[in-house]
Structure 1
C-alpha cells in the first residue's frame, strides 16, 4: 500500500466527521473557505508546516501557535477541529484532511472541480463561458475552476476533471498533427 493511500485512509474519517458536523451547523461553505485559506497558509509557510509536523514539539505549544495565528481568522469550529487533530497527533495530516473535506463537500453539493491550465489569464466572461460549458458537459450543478498559467501551451487551454483531460491548446493540436504525420 502506498504512503499516499495510507494517509488518505487515515484522513477520510476526520474529513467525514468534519463534514457531518458542518452539515449539522449549516457551515459547509464557510468551513471549506477556511480550510482553503489554511491550505494556502501552509503552502506559503514551509516553516509552519515543519513546526506542525515535528513530533518533538509539544501539543500545547502547537495549540498556542495555532490559536494566536488563526484566532479571528477562521471559524471557531475549524480552530477547535485543528486542536483536536493536535491532541490526536494527526495535525500533520491537515493537508490531506482538508483536501478530502473539500472533495466530499463538492460531491455533496454536486460541484465538479476542474483544473484549468491556460497560456494567459482568462477574463471573467471567458471563465463564466467555460463554467457554463463544463456544467453542460458534466451535468453538475456547480463547477469550481482551479486556474493555472502554463506558458508551454502557447495558446488555448487544457481542462482536467478527474482523470479526463480536455486539450484545447495550440501545443496539444501541434502534438496531434505530429503524431498523425509520424504514423503515416
Structure 2
C-alpha cells in the first residue's frame, strides 16, 4: 500500500467527523469556507506545511502558530477541530483531510468539482459553456471549476472529474500517437 493511500485512509475518518460536526451545528457552509481558506494558506506557505508536519515541534507551538495564523478568521468549530488534529498528531495531514472534507461536503451538496487544465486562460463564456456541459455529463446540480493554465499542454485542455480524465490536449494526443509508435514522449 502506498503512503498516499495510507494518508487518504487516515484522512477519511477525520473529514467525515468534521462534516458530521458541521452538519450537527448547522455550520457546514462556514466550515467549508474555513477549510478552503486553510487549504489556500497551506498552498501558499510551504514553511507552514513543513512546520506543522515537523514532529520535533511541540503541540503548544503548533497550536500557537495555528491560532496566530487563522484563529480570528475561522469558526470556533473549525479551530477546535484543528486543535484536535494537533493533539492527535495528525495536523501534518491537514491538507489531505481538508481535501477529503471538501470532496465529501461537495458530494453532500451535489456539487461536482472539475479540475480543468488549459493551455490558455478560458473566457467567461467558455467557462459557462464548459460548466453546462459538465452538468449534463455528471447530472450534477452544481459544478465548480478549478482552472489552471498549463502552457505545456500546447493546446486544448484536460478535465478531471473524480477519477475520470478527459484529455483533449495536443500533448495528450502526441502521447497517444507515440504509444502507438512505441516512442516515449515527455
1:76-113 CA distances to partner (integer Å, 9 max, x unpaired)?
22111101111111111111111110111111111211
1:2 maps to what in 2?
Answer: 2
How many matched pairs? 182
1:67 maps to what in 2?
Answer: 67
Q: Which segments of 5 or more consecutive residues in structure 2 lack a partner in the other structure?
A: none
Cα distance in structure 2, aligned partners of 1:23 and 1:77? 11
1:116 maps to what in 2?
Answer: 116
Shift of 1:173: 5.1
Shift of 1:6: 1.5
Cα distance in structure 2, aligned partners of 1:97 and 1:170? 34
Cα distance in structure 2, aligned partners of 1:72 and 1:58? 22
1:158 maps to what in 2?
Answer: 158
Tell whether 2:36 aligns with 1:36. Answer: yes
1:24 maps to what in 2?
Answer: 24
1:88 maps to what in 2?
Answer: 88
Cα distance in structure 2, aligned partners of 1:54 and 1:173? 42
1:120-143 CA distances to partner (integer Å, 9 max, x unpaired)?
111222111111110001111111
Tell whether 2:89 aligns with 1:101. Answer: no
1:50 maps to what in 2?
Answer: 50
Q: Which segments of 5 or more consecutive residues in structure 1 lack a partner in the other structure?
A: none
Cα distance in structure 1, aligned partners of 2:86 and 2:32? 20
1:54-89 CA distances to partner (integer Å, 9 max, x unpaired)?
222211121111111112222222111101111111
Q: Which moved more, 1:157-166 or 1:76-85?
A: 157-166
The alignment's TM-score, normalised by the length of structure 2, stands at 0.87
Shift of 1:146: 1.2
* Cα separation, partners in 2 of 1:172 and 1:66, compared to 1, 3 Å: closer
Cα distance in structure 1, aligned partners of 2:89 and 2:165? 38
